Amino acid sequence: MSFRQFPVTDANGESHVVIEFKPEGNASGSASTDAEPRYELEDGRVLVRNGREFTTPDGGVRLSL
């Protein structure tokens, strides 16, 4: 698994960090086609990505790239 971090902004203009986790290739070296990246906020809350926007599953947090 690899990851990257990038900055996002909430509705109040405050900055946060989103971490994107990407699955690595399998033993044969090819990437799994059905494994989607996973996104988390810096505090570990799960995020759902929709284009340039991220939200928590309950919609309580909304962040933009």
Render pLDDT for 14-55 as a digit per residue (tens, 0 to 9).
999 999 999 987 665 555 556 899 999 999 999 999 999 999
pTM: 0.80
State the chain's mean pLDDT as an integer.
89
- If 0-12 CB within 10 Å is exposed, 13-18 middle and 19+ buried, where does residue 61 land? middle
Are 17 and 8 contacting, i.e. CB atoms less than 8 angstroms apart?
Answer: yes
pLDDT at position 16: 96
List Cβ neighbours of 50 (8 Å cut-off, separation of 6 or more): none
CA angle, 46 then 50 then 53, to 5°: 80
